[in-house]
Structures are given as C-alpha cells and as structure tokens.
Amino acid sequence: MYLGIDIGTSGVKAVIVAESGAVMAAGTAPLGVSRPFPGWSEQDPDHWWQATEAAVLALPEDLRARVQGVGLAGQMHGATLLGADHRPLRPAILWNDGRSSDACRQLEQRIPESRSITGNLAMPGFTAPKLLWVTEHEPEIFERVEKILLPKDYVRLCMTGDMASDLSDSAGTLWLDVAVRDWSEVMLGATGLSRTHMPPLFEGNAVTGVLRHEVAAQWGMARVPVAAGGGDNAAGAVGIGVVNEGDALLSLGTSGVIFVATGAFRPNPERAVHAFCHCLPDMWHQMSVHLSAASCIEWGVKATGADDPAGFFDLAEAGGAGGGPEIFLPYLSGERTPHNDPHVRAAVLGIDNETDRGRIAAAVLEGVAFAHADGIAVLRDAGTEIQQLSVIGGGARSRYWGTIIAAALNVRLAYLEGGEVGPALGAAKLALMAVTGASAAEACVRPPISHIIEPDAALADRLAPRLARFRAAYSAVQSIQGEIRDRQLFR
C-alpha cells in the first residue's frame, strides 16, 4: 500500500492506493484562504501540516499500518519563506495572489532572456516575482529568509526533517532552467537569491527521505520512504496515466487547468501558455491555467444561497446552459491564460427581469467553460492537438458541467476511477515507483474509464455565439476595470 497526500488549496486529500493502482481509502481536511487585501491570497503553512495530519488520521488504521511509501503533491508556486530556525517568517503567498505584477515587469527587464530560460512569461502567482515584492515591501522579512519552499515541500520538511523539491513544482518558481532541469543562477540572482536558498532537486519518482520517528509513530506507520512527488497538475497526470507525448487532462480544482504531456521542452510563453517539467524523467508539459474554476462554484454557492456545490449544480441544470442572456466572466482572482491579467475581475453581464438563481448558476458553469475554451484555443493555435481530456479534481463530480465544457471546447471528456483525487493518486504512484523501481509504463496505467462525454453538437451551436460575446465582454470589462490596479492590489 502507498500513501499519496495532496496539499490542495481548498483542503488536503490523503489516499491509500494498492499496488494495482486502486484507491482503497480517502481522507480529507479543509483549508481556508486568507485575503487580507483585495488581490492577495495567503495560507498559514502550519495549517497545511495540521490538515495533513487530520487527513492521514482519517484513513483506516489497518491500511495505514501497511503503507510502504509516501508521495506528495500540492498547489504550485506558493512562497513559503523560512528563517534560520526553519519556521515560516510570514503567511505563504499563494498561486492565485495578484500583488506582484510590477515585480514581473522588473524581473523581465532585469533578465531579458528570462522567457527562454524559464519557458514562461513572468506572471504574478509564480514564486520569483513574489520574492521581489517581499524585497520591496517587507525588506525586514527578506533579510531573514534562509530557505524558500513550495507548499508540498514544507509539508515534507514537517514529515521528514529534509528539505527537497521535485522538478515539476520547481519549474513553477521561475528560478528553474526548465530545459536543463536545474536551478538557474541567473534567475536566482535577479531576485537577490542563490542556490543556497533552494532545496536540492529530485525527479518525482525518487526518494528524498524517510518519515520522522514521531510522525511515523503518530500515523501508525513504519519509517517508510517519502518520494519527491510533484506539483498537483503533474502528479494528477501521473495518477490517471497522462504520461506520454500528447496525453492531456482537464483539472477542475480551485483553479482550472488543461495539461498536455510533451516528450520535449516546448515553450510558448507569448500567450501565457505554461511550459514546465513533468514529474517523470525526460518529460515536460504545457498547460493553460485558469485561476478560478471550482472557486467560481464556491462563490456561486454563496451568491445564490445554494446549500452546497451539489445543490448549485442542481440549480444550474434547472436554469439550463445556453438559455438566458447572462454572461459570466470567471475572473474572481484575475486570469493567467491567455490574458496574463491579475487586475481584471469577474462580472455578470446581461441580467434582465427574468434572471434568477438558476440562470446565474448556469452562466457561472458556462463562463468557466468559456475560460477553458480560450485556453484550449491557444494550445491548439500553437499546434498542440487535443481530442480528449481526462478529468481530475473536485469538479469531476459533476457530469452536467462536463457536458457544457465538452461542447464549449469541442473535445471528448473521459472520467476515470479516482479522478476526483487525481493528484493524491499520482503522488501514491510516484511513491510506488520510488520504492519498487517500477517504470512509468508499469506504474502509471490509466485507471478504468467510468464515463465518457462526447461534445453535443446542438449545445455547441447554442454556445458558439455566446463564446464570442464572452470574448468581447473580457475586452470591454478589462478596459473599464483599470482602476482596480491602483486602488486595490497594494496596501
């Protein structure tokens, strides 16, 4: 048995997975996000650890006792700043935090070759620009920074006492030379840092340490090895067998992601396509990243008074996609692909006398689908073929949402067993590979397909003109929301 742990934004997921790849048990513990100023997004690293312990202890004791290895996955990009005592110096600044846009411009001015080294635009949410922000706004903190870790790697430190990271997650810092799969001294130097501030790097299927004695005793486990693991999207890809050139997935977590595995480093930064290492050796990936997917569901639950996400989906289905005049722009935290715009905010346009909760809910599902249609368009424009997406993340629980997304993107969606906890499943498979030496072909077998959604041509016809309005609405809204930049993003 192998334990996979995913430090998601909305909560920690822990799963126990058999050698066959079957999920035997799952435990979760929720996490909150703190937004002390508009545009900011932070979590207390110690809450990750407390939630990890709670999620693991929710798993059956007899299965925990049989665990032979642990793997980690987690939300990417979060800056966890540690002092000399290896304790956090401030709350972690998360992947959907928009405060560092000026720092992004400075970084690209300082290092004109930044895009070719990192394969990516400097975007707020990535780790390096956050450190430039800290240098300018919290110099007393910056002076005390000894190490910088990503979220899952802070949890690793608590679990094992070791500092280590994997290449898929580290690629999202903007400090990595992504083609070479090593830290870039140039990018580190541009933010006043050096290799000594970074943990050593491992491939995702390598062992980085073993469980600390006290942790093993508390969890009722032996002192088993811990694998490097991966950023949540790459680990999710391993979980559902997206490990060969051209395999693709759709992640519907707090963020939404279209992820395509590539056998070579294929950067395409101009329209905010992400190009990172995979968490398997000699593999990379491209992604379109949408900052608000299931977070729009959470907002929609609050805004409509639905009981919970399931109730919100029921409301949306009653409202009917493609029916009313409403258009929802899902930019609650700004957007990455294709706009790289941390300042735009969400909007509901086209409200009329007939607009009710159901029609708002339907527009929300449709708006998130349209954001992904923008993402798949830039991936396809750059020559990436995508006919099928395997779905992972909490949003994989709604088949109704899937019908809208399949039609808006003109793509087949495949739902696989264990997809809802894909990153944790992948983390467990990386642990299995690290412990047994199994190859990706042996360990990353695609789980059984539980459901397929083909694009519905009639719905696609109804959605096409609405997608055109959605795109026009972004341009209009973006042009009148400029003041947000000055008013909100900085203290």
Ligand X SMILES: Nc1ncnc2c1ncn2[C@@H]1O[C@H](COP(=O)(O)OP(=O)(O)O)[C@@H](O)[C@H]1O
**Given the complex with ligand X, which of 397 and 485 has the nearer CB atom?**
397
User: What letters, b where the CB count within 10 A reaches 16 and e where it falls short, cover 415-437?
Assistant: bbbbbbbbbbbbbbbbbbbbbee
Q: Write the binding mask 63 to 102 for ligand 5SP: x where contact by CB under 6 A, - elsewhere.
A: ------------xxx-----------------x-------
Of residues 65, 217, 310, 468, which one binds ligand X by CB under 6 A?
310
Alpha helices in 257-356 (DSSP H): 294-304, 309-319
Measure CA of the first residue to CA of the last residue in the chain; give whole Å.
48
Give the one entry of ligand 5SP, ligand X, none that residue 95 binds, where binding means its C-beta sits below a cut-off of 5 to 8 angstroms depending on kind.
ligand 5SP
Give the one entry of ligand X, ligand 5SP, none that residue 289 binds, where binding means its C-beta sits below a cut-off of 5 to 8 angstroms depending on kind.
ligand 5SP
Of residues 144, 223, 266, 397, which one binds ligand X by CB under 6 A?
397
Cβ atoms within 10 Å, residue 268: 18
Residue 294 in the binding site for ligand X (CB under 6 A): yes
Asked whether residue 283 is marked as a ligand-binding residue, the answer is no
Rounded to the nearest whole angstrom, what is the least distance from the CB of residue 257 to ligand 5SP in the complex?
Answer: 5
Cα separation values, 342 from 39, 270, 293, 346, Å: 8, 16, 15, 11
For residue 341, give the amino acid letter.
D
Rounded to the nearest whole angstrom, what is the least distance from the CB of residue 256 to ligand 5SP in the complex?
Answer: 8
Separation between Cα atoms, residue 427 and residue 389, nearest integer Å: 20
Q: Check: CB of residue 442 under 8 Å from CB of residue 238.
A: no
Q: Write the binding mask 343 to 382 for ligand X: x where contact by CB under 6 A, - elsewhere.
A: ----------------------------------------
Note if the bond before 338 is cis, omega within 30 degrees. yes
**CB proximity list for 84: less than 8 A, separation 6 or greater:** 144, 146
Q: Write the binding mask 233 to 262 for ligand X: x where contact by CB under 6 A, - elsewhere.
A: --------------------xx--------
> Does residue 437 come out as left (phi exceeding 0), alpha (psi in the -120 to 50 range) or beta?
left
> Phi first, then psi: what are they for 251, rounded to 5°?
-105, 125
CA 343 vs. chain centroid, Å, equals 20
Residues between 103 and 142 that touch ligand 5SP (CB under 6 A): 125
Residues between 183 and 242 that touch ligand 5SP (CB under 6 A): 231-233
Q: Which one is catalytic: 97, 169, 177, 232?
A: 232
Stretch touching ligand X by CB under 6 A, among 170-178, 326-334, 387-395, 476-484: 387-395
Nearest to 91 by CA among 41, 127, 133: 41
Residue 11 in the binding site for ligand X (CB under 6 A): yes
Asked whether residue 24 is marked as a ligand-binding residue, the answer is no
The answer to whether 374 is a known catalytic residue is no
Q: Catalytic residues, which ones?
A: 232
Residues that bind ligand X (CB under 6 A): 8-11, 253-254, 294, 297-298, 309-310, 313, 393-395, 397-398
